Amino acid sequence: MDKKITLIITGQLRLQENQNTIDKINYHIDKLKPHNTILFLWDSEYQKYENEIKQLNLQSITLNDNLPIYSQDVIDDMFLSQNKLKQKSQIDKNDTNFYNNVLKQLYTTQYIFQNLNCHSDIYIKTRYDNIYLNDFEINNLSNFYNENIPIISTPFGGDLDKIGLGDLLTITNNKANDIYKNIYDIYLQQIKNQKIPMYSELALRYIFKNLHHSDIYRFHFLMTTEKYFKRNLLYHADRNIFQTHGFNNIGEIIGKDNLHLPDFSIV
């Protein structure tokens, strides 16, 4: 029996020149072929494009753009964590936009999964500004999904420092969604104890693999963002086999990702 698939589109609409809301949303639906679709929108964008969005007759989850979810104490913990843990890149403590963006991403993910009004077997989370460069075959992955353990899949590539977990697009089962439902709270607790990498890609792997022993599957799916596409850059691709021409011949190769982040040594 085919597994029911729910698509969740997140982020900001970021309409480009000559784009309209309906076409941009339908692009993801046409490419990823879900059974149903849920939209996340910031209040300001929902109000701006409400008439078009209502025409699609899809569930929408909205959130106040200016919700005060950050505190200086949390930013202090994040800064302390990156200085005590061996991380290659160091972010200045005064760069509050960076810290806020990490927290905002985790908070909105938790909020979205706590407010899903559906039940499916597989959930695909993507972004409005993603671009897909080859065909997506969910059936190649669906056999790996069951309800006994949390499972998350992402395309190859996009992993920070080659040990993170790129997350422009993630595919999860219900067990993994239970982790997403608490991912912000988990992060806050772990960062307070300085037990987790600060960056979202590293934190994602740490939370799913180290803390919850999830199965992680990677697959070849060439994709990028509108911003990177203009610069002729790919975000998700296996650079060992990718060639500028002929990427459609790669096919959907699936592999199990067993990388378990090491304990981060205190300097």
Q: How far apart are CA 130 and CA 128, in angstroms?
A: 6
Estimate the crossing angle of helix 183-192 against helix 96-114, to 10 degrees. Answer: 140
- Which residues of the chain are under the pLDDT cut of 50? 239-252, 264-267
CB-CB contact of 165 with 216 (8 Å): yes
**pLDDT at residue 266, as a whole number:** 33
**pLDDT at residue 260, as a whole number:** 67
**pLDDT at residue 113, as a whole number:** 97
**pLDDT at residue 230, as a whole number:** 83
| Residue 129, domain member (yes or no) | yes
| Residue 114, domain member (yes or no) | yes
**pLDDT at residue 89, as a whole number:** 59
**pLDDT at residue 45, as a whole number:** 95
**pLDDT at residue 218, as a whole number:** 84
Task: Residue 171: give its domain's CATH number.
Answer: 3.90.550
| Residue 263, domain member (yes or no) | no
* Owning domain of residue 241: 5-257
Closest CA to 77 of 157, 240, 246, 193: 193
| Residue 262, domain member (yes or no) | no
Q: How many domains does the chain have?
A: 1
Output helix, strand, coil percentages for the chain, rounded to the nearest 5: 40, 20, 45
